Structure 1
Amino acid sequence: MIWRVNWTRADAWLRSHAPELHAKFLPPATAADVAAAEEAIGAPLPADLAAWWTACGGLEEADYAPLVPEFYSPFGVGRALEVREMTMRIRREVAVDPRVGDVDSYEARKLGEPAGSLIGDLWLPLFVPIAVSASGSYLFVDLREGPLHGCVMPFDNVEGADEEPLWENVAAMLAGVAEWLEGDFLAEWRP
């Protein structure tokens, strides 16, 4: 399980080099929490995301720290579900381009596109937020079907999902986290 190796590296680095930050992590999710999340989302979570959440509880919003390269602070499962619901509602009511017309049809069409497809300003029900930047932009896991199912993409708070995936899955993202911590993290962030 490559995700475990990568998160273990990151966790060990935090314990050794940033214990005050490590102490701020919330308790990890339980299997019941993950099952409840899957029920709320209406789809199974990728194994690497579910496993990461059972190892890492994320940080409170007030304890922002850019642990996911280079600007994102990780969510636990509870905060992820809150942000998902809020963002779906806000994006659907306010941010969708008025030229779209029928938002339901537009959403259905976008849900049918393969994971990793750019979407713009609508937050789809199969987007699972996993981290937030200080500016309020998100990283999310795309649960749409396709070869990139489970990829990690950025969602800009102004432009939406208009960039290619950053990582093919959560395991690859966690490798980036470990490399970031072991490399440039201390130069970029001071507790």
Structure 2
Amino acid sequence: MSWSRADTWLRSHTPELHAKFLPPATPADLAAAEEVVGAPLPAGLTAWWAECGGLANVNYTPIIPEFYSPLGVGQALEVRKMMMEIRRDVAVAPEIADVDAHEASKLAEPAGSPIGDLWLPLFVPVAVDASGTYLFADLREGPLRGCVTQFDEVEGADEEPLWESVDAMLQAVVEWLEGDFRTEWPIAR
């Protein structure tokens, strides 16, 4: 699924909102992201970021059903770094003596496995909502590699993936924009 259909809809129906998008990622941006993450990005994610730079200001601009604002590659890497630092320091239960071993065991689980509130290096944020809940692409190995899962600021990632891929998420975006999205919402002006 390509972002172009959503982009066309936004350009036509909400030009003020469309104007708030940052330029798309360059091949160099995407290569740098893969180097930082330490793993190849899923094809659907790189294709999306090559077309969509995320919103300049993600303050409650719900474009991804139903409450999420898209992040561009630069924003995603900043959020990833912050979440890795914060969650490693405060989210690991005190009874876990070896945080590195705990993280390694969670990294070995297949993509899409509930993780609790530890943010793993192979989680790449793709969107955020107004409450600080993130959507991320799970780059752990397994049949669901690249699935999109919610990371709640309180519960972490304890739910099943919302979408099996970024492409499936983008299909949901198009269906929502063309169906239930309301252009009269203040965020769309």
Matches of 1:105 and 1:96 in 2, distance apart? 12
Which residue number in structure 1 is paired with residue 19 of structure 2?
23
Check if 1:112 corresponds to 2:102.
no
Deviation at 1:8, TM superposition (A): 1.8
Unmatched tracts of structure 1, length 5 or more: none
Note the aligned Cα RMSD (angstroms).
Answer: 1.2
Deviation at 1:188, TM superposition (A): 8.1
| DSSP 3-state at the match of 1:69 | coil
Of 52, 62, 66, the match for 2:62: 66
| DSSP 3-state at the match of 1:16 | helix
Of 32, 39, 45, the match for 1:36: 32
Which residue number in structure 2 is paired with residue 176 of structure 1?
172
CA contact (8 A) 1:66 1:189 kept: no
Matches of 2:184 and 2:93 in 1, distance apart? 36
Check if 1:95 corresponds to 2:91.
yes
Letter in 1 for 2:38: G
Letter in 1 for 2:158: D
Unmatched tracts of structure 2, length 5 or more: none
Query: Among the aligned pairs, what percent are the same residue?
Result: 72
- The 5 A counterparts of 1:90-169 are 90-169=86-165
Matches of 1:40 and 1:174 in 2, distance apart? 24
Letter in 2 for 1:41: V
- Scaled by the length of structure 1, the TM-score of the pair is 0.94
Cα deviation 1:116-146 (Å, max 9, x = unaligned) = 0000000000000000000000000000000
More helix by share: 1
Letter in 2 for 1:8: S
Which residue number in structure 1 is paired with residue 74 of structure 2?
78
Check if 1:185 corresponds to 2:149.
no
Of 45, 50, 53, the match for 2:46: 50
| DSSP 3-state at the match of 1:166 | coil
Deviation at 1:61, TM superposition (A): 3.5
Deviation at 1:94, TM superposition (A): 1.2
Alpha-carbon spacing, 1:60–1:97, altered in 2? closer, same or farther (3 Å) = farther
- Scaled by the length of structure 2, the TM-score of the pair is 0.95
